[in-house]
Chain A
Amino acid sequence: MNKMSRRSFLSIAATTAAATLYSPFWKRGLYSLSNANEPRYFEREFGISEKLCEKVLAKALSNGGDFADLYFEHTVSNWIGLEDGKVNRAYSNISLGVGIRTVKGEQVGYGFTQDLNEKSMLEAAVTAATISNFTGKKPEIRYSWVQTKNYYPLKTLLTEIPIESRLPLVQGVNDRCFSLSPSVVKVNAGFSDEQKRIFIISSEGIKAEDLQPRNFLYANVVLEKNGKRERASWNIGGRRDFSFYTDEVVSEVARTAVERAKILFEAIQPPAGEMPVVLGPGVTGVLLHEAIGHGMEADFNRKKISTYSSLLGKKVAEPFVTIVDDGTIPGLAGSINVDDEGTPGQKTILVHRGILTSYMHDKISARHYKVNPTGNGRRESYQHYVLPRMRNTYMEVGPETPGDIIKSVKRGIYVQDVSNGQVRIGEGDFAFYVSQGRMIEEGKLTAPIKDINIMGNGPKMLMNISMVGNDLEMTKGGGGMCGKGGQGVPCAFGQPTCLVKTMTVGGVKNA
């Protein structure tokens, strides 16, 4: 309801809740690794049998409905944090429960419980069933496991990595930051990890399970110079094995944060007004996510409240623009082996050579449009119902070199780093916050700029992309969360350098 909470993109969730540094507390002793990756986790650990699920599904459909599903989740999250030189704080959280959903057309009944016993699950199923008011038939179901690939194989479960192994990463980031510049006065650093196990079973006969890791290492630095202060942060992570966090990663986190803060001392807020904007590679994909991605989530389109709802099959961009939402890129934060309704992870082309070809679907919207679900049905946790959500969204490479793109601009803005953004779905109007960039004057990068909001309109901006570079970069962050309907899910994005003919730059003086 609320525009602010509806969908705003938060780049770094540095204060994420987080977890035991060991095993889940329900574990009956530690697993060996092979054991841990064995299937049927919820059956082994909590006695969730097919027969019990069938009973609950039957209850969920007792008043009728198209289908019902159960979503079991056990998530352990950990965070260790450093302030004033020492790793002296830790937070952890354990979340366990099951969400029960009854779907009738486009209507959803939803109940959940934190107790995985028959009585509590049947009660939650009664809540879900209230969405419908017929007399349901007991479903006759034959279940089969969904075959999935693994886009985030783990050598070791993060929950098996002792705290002693994590401490040096965070301490290392701190020490590296201080060694990089005498201007560094404060460093906050931390390592966050989450291990989510899910099991989905539906009245349509689908059974699916997954183990979804997510982790990141971050630094937030404050520099002081001549009485002025600047702050910058950086994080690297995704759905990674712990071996990903090498000394090079530690250095890169520290170096990038410090360098980003250093340049801000010379940065200005640019003049206000309309001007050409060059998006540098990587993080600027936030703009794709906001300006285009959200509007192509199918729930907004089936309700006809998106500005893109009448544009399917039509030209929305120049022929050199292709935009993809892809859940299959190894290790990225938005990758999923299976979505939260049991649809396998996949790659979806949204805009193919300038033509809008597909929305992003969950099961409800796929039924509405009579297409296959695209594996975009996601939810924050067992307490939330599914919505179509992005995974890793990016623009494919184009023919130009980044140098030529910058050279083509007489006077404009070059965007290097973006912290957050927001869109109004119906109008397509969006904003994204540039934490770092440069002025472009006579085809050259000049003064650094900072802390400026850039405004535009999604469909207009898409048509205004006039050059696309050959230098696609995907973000390597693990802290990126996308918010919609009060739910946050991890996602990533990417972008080659590209030129947008004109956008509104929110500067401090008249241009």
Chain B
Amino acid sequence: MKEEMLNLADWVTKTARASGADDSRVTINSERFIEISYRERKPENIREASTRGLNLEIYVTGRYSSQSTSDLRKESLKKFITNALTTTKLLAEDPYRSLPDPKYYEGREKFNLELTDPEYLNFSVENRHNLVKTIEEACLSRGGERVISVSAMTYDTHLSLVQMTSNGFEGSSESTVYYAGASLTARDEGNRRPSGSESAMSVKRKDLPHPELIGQEAARRALEMLGAKKIKTEKMPVIIENRIVPRILSGFISAMFGRNIQQRQSFLAEKKGQKVTSESLTLIDDPFLKSGLSSRLFDSDGLPAKKRVLIEEGILKEFYIDWYYSRKLNCEPTTGSPSNLIIHEGKRSLEEIMKDIGRGILITGFIGGNSNSTTGDMSIGIFGKLFENGEFVQPVAEMNIADNHLIFWKKLVEIANDTWIYSDWRTPSLVFQDVIVSGE
């Protein structure tokens, strides 16, 4: 497969050059996936297919465009390349557009990142059905009398990618991803039907949590929300549960991208070297995590992956700058996009922390909301559990938190030791103090 894809990439590169392109980058991907979901103890959806696609970036007379197609027949591709060139030549020149200087391709690591599951081909259709059935059964049984509906799902995929440029870059990768999840909707008072869900992803199947645990956790999370109500607006400590931290962190990260910095849409543009969060926070981008969901040896520009410290004890150290915006900003490129993001975890468990901080809310989910990368203002709906001295008081819903990222992250006082490992953003639970939670 890989050889065939590389040969095609090589042919496209040569054909583009022969047709008049000054430079080009070709990316070819192919994927095989299977999705199976169950409801009421029978398959609800079964979906399976193979897909492939080719993306061609063209550089000609100082102009640039990007085109993609799923028709990889050479006869069609010839027309595709000619059309791509015609289109590109009609655009305005962009002096900042180019492939990276080949010296920037140097230094690629040769680690074995273990991005495929050696057991993948042994995972039969029957195995998959059994996996979902186990999740569904565990969820139904933990949900008991309260269950209105349970759905369980598994999805797995095998992906291959090759990337080639006309100035000497060649790279390929192969990976597997497994997803398993469940969601339960429960009977509550009136017309309220609280739901809870749990899901996990991994590169190797053996690294997924036990399917029974996924089903049970989905049920537990739904049942915990029975009788949820909003409380009066109050300033108090909140804990953002490990697995949902990415939702709020992504608003912060968006201001670290070269495009937003160059286009003056970043509240962090002038803050490099300054303290932007509390000292508790150290944030790492680690592309070399063994079997990490976003591990890689090179990025989409072909630049070699490097482990990077983005925030060190509250100090902003680096931005995500791809090749194009490095030229526009007149600085060195880093990488254009995150790989695995890791927040250094703390020492204490969530339970210990909750005992210590008196009255607060453990936020277990977000709803709606948004974040403005230009100003740093954000506002987001929350639900979760009110607790006092470690004791559960009541579930809360229909509440909201609002702040500016530059203020909010300085309220971070502690980080738990419970990193969520079933995602490419590996985040522990975070404790913030003096947060206004609005409700009644």
Contact = CB atoms under 8 A, between A and B. Distances in A.
B438 A424 contact: no
A91 B66 contact: yes
Contacts of B76: 25-26
B67 A109 contact: no
Nearest to A435: B370
Contacts of B88: 90
A111 B49 CA distance: 6
A510 B93 CA distance: 52
A131 B400 CA distance: 43
A50 interface: no
A506 B65 contact: no
B425 interface: no
B197 A114 contact: no
Interface in A450-509: 450-457, 459, 504-509
B94 A86 contact: yes
B367 interface: yes
A504 B195 contact: no
Per DSSP, chain B at the interface is strand
Contacts of B199: 1-2
Nearest to A426: B193
Given A4-B247, A88-B93, A230-B374, A455 B193 contact: no
Interface stretch (B166-174, B178-186, B284-292, B309-317): B178-186
Nearest to A458: B191
A184 B366 CA distance: 34
B434 to A, nearest CB: 12
Interface stretch (A93-101, A195-203, A329-337, A395-403): A93-101
Interface in A295-311: 303-311
A510 B191 CA distance: 30
B402 A508 contact: yes
A295 to B, nearest CB: 10
B402 to A, nearest CB: 5
Interface stretch (B2-10, B37-45, B113-121, B347-355): B37-45
Interface stretch (B20-28, B299-307, B379-387): B379-387
A109 B90 contact: no
Contacts of B403: 508
Nearest to A503: B398
B367 A269 contact: no
A222 B375 CA distance: 11
Given A21-B87, A431-B369, A272 B402 contact: yes
B194 A427 contact: yes
Nearest to A433: B370
Contact of A506 (B83, B125, B438): B438
B83 to A, nearest CB: 6
Interface in B77-120: 79-80, 83-84, 86-88, 90-94, 97
B383 A429 contact: yes
Contact of A131 (B46, B264, B367): B46
Contacts of B265: 186, 222, 229, 231
B274 interface: no
B71 interface: yes
B277 to A, nearest CB: 18
B230 interface: yes
Interface residues of B, number: 89
Contacts of B151: 1
Contacts of A308: 191
B440 A303 contact: no
B263 A83 contact: yes
Interface in A231-290: 231, 269, 272-274, 290
Interface size class of A (residues with CB under 8 A): 35 or more
Interface string A369-410: 000000000000001010000000000000000000000000
Contacts of B125: 130
B92 A88 contact: yes
Given A21-B90, A22-B87, A385-B47, A455 B400 contact: yes
Nearest to A88: B94
B141 interface: no
Given A25-B80, A91-B65, A113-B49, A96 B94 contact: no
B367 A88 contact: no
A432 B380 CA distance: 9
B298 to A, nearest CB: 22
Interface in B208-259: 225, 228, 230, 233, 235, 247
Given A131-B46, A506-B438, A25 B69 contact: yes
Contacts of B186: 426
A452 B263 contact: no
Contacts of B399: 455, 504
A367 to B, nearest CB: 15
A124 B32 CA distance: 13
A27 to B, nearest CB: 9
A509 B397 CA distance: 19
Nearest to B235: A510
Contact of A186 (B264, B436, B440): B264
B368 A432 contact: yes
Interface of B: 39, 42-52, 63-71, 76, 79-80, 83-84, 86-88, 90-94, 97, 125, 148-149, 151, 153, 179, 181-183, 185-186, 191-195, 197, 199, 225, 228, 230, 233, 235, 247, 263-265, 328, 365-370, 372, 374-375, 377-381, 383, 397-403, 436, 438-440
24 contacts: A1-B151, A2-B197, A20-B87, A21-B87, A25-B69, A92-B84, A94-B80, A106-B39, A107-B43, A109-B46, A110-B48, A111-B49, A113-B49, A113-B50, A127-B47, A231-B372, A272-B400, A304-B149, A422-B369, A451-B372, A506-B381, A507-B402, A509-B436, A510-B233
Cβ-closest 5 pairs across A and B:
A431-B368, A506-B400, A272-B438, A426-B193, A431-B381
Given A89-B65, A304-B193, A508-B402, 19 more contacts: A2-B197, A4-B247, A26-B71, A87-B92, A93-B67, A111-B47, A127-B49, A231-B374, A273-B440, A303-B39, A303-B185, A307-B192, A385-B47, A422-B369, A427-B228, A427-B397, A429-B397, A451-B372, A453-B400
